[in-house]
Amino acid sequence: MRLTRCSRLALAALLWACDPQADTGYLGEPLMTFQGHVTSSGPMPSLEAAMLWQRGEPPSSGDQELATRAPVEAGFPARFTLHLYQPPPGAARRSLVPGEVTYARANAGAVPYGTAAAAIGALPASANGAYGIDANHWVVYLASDVPAGSLTAWWLGAAMPAGFHLLRVAAVNPQCITPAQLDACVVDLTRRGIPDDGTERPGTARFFCRATYRLSPAPPGEQLVLNLGTTGLGPAGGTCP
């Protein structure tokens, strides 16, 4: 069948309309964007900021999965912008106890430019000036709304809607928790349906009350701060206030 000139023009227009117009590197609109900067007491190497989903139980940070990375701009302060385009991987999703909202948590980290994803799985256990994380914040993803009065709401510091949230995390020395504070915490958690058998067995009220960290919502607009040489949550020891 021979095509007329008009037919050829119409076919060309149709094929052009079907061509992908977006850049093949386009990842879509980000689900969440975080701003931050890097601090260092010494010379700063060429760095990338990385979002690292944690596969271990909180507050561990030794089993990580790279989600995304972004270059750190040279200058003072050294700034970065991290975009999250995908929900967290299945290996990072868990719940505090059965029946609670599913969550995942991530740390923002600084790694030498070009570091392979496999090497990010376990950052150096000791201080290393070429690596660092924001030990004072967690990025938490909630698969559904967290109801008030739940264990997860207590853990987060507030009832929160589904999606991504930036939380402050503070190290706590369990030895500094007074008997009265512990009793009040246990009463609160038993009212939320968490059992208390007098032990600190995982999943019990005393296990959560004597955790070595506490979470709270970060104020709107708060930035991530990557501290080179810091690769985990600070120690919970020292003298009590």
> Which residues contact residue 96 at a Cβ distance below 8 angstroms, ignoring those fewer than 6 apart?
103, 151, 152, 155, 208
Residue 12 scores a pLDDT above 80: no
Q: Please check whether residue 192 is in contact with residue 3, taking contact to mean a CB–CB distance below 8 angstroms.
A: no
Among candidates 71, 68, 60, which has minimal Cα distance to 164? Answer: 68
- Give per-residue pLDDT as tens, 51-67: 999 999 999 988 999 99
- From 114, 105, 113, select the one nearest 65 (Cα to Cα): 105
Q: What is the pLDDT of residues 208-218, one digit of tens each?
A: 999 999 999 99
**Could you read off the pLDDT of 77-124 as tens digits, one per residue?**
899 999 999 999 999 999 999 999 999 999 999 999 988 888 888 888
- Cα separation, 180 vs 25, in Å, equals 57
Residue 238 has a pLDDT of: 63
Q: What single-letter amino acid sits at 31? A: L
Percent of residues, the chain, with pLDDT higher than 90: 66
Is residue 59 reached through a cis peptide bond, with omega within 30 degrees of 0 on the bond before it?
Answer: yes
The token duo for 14 is: 């149709």
Cα–Cα distance measured from residue 128 to residue 120, given in angstroms and rounded to the nearest whole number = 13
Contact status, residue 49 vs residue 38, Cβ threshold 8 Å: yes
Residue 1 confidence (pLDDT)? 46
Residue range 161-186: mean pLDDT, rounded: 96
Residue 104 has what pLDDT? 98
Distances (CA, A) of 15 to 3, 6, 26, 105, 195: 15, 14, 21, 45, 65
d(CA 173, CA 86): 35
What pLDDT sits at residue 146? 98
Query: Which pTM was predicted?
Result: 0.85
Locate 152 and state its tokens.
Answer: 């997860």
Q: Which tens digit of pLDDT belongs to each residue from 27-37?
A: 689 999 999 99
**Mean pLDDT confidence for 126-138:** 87
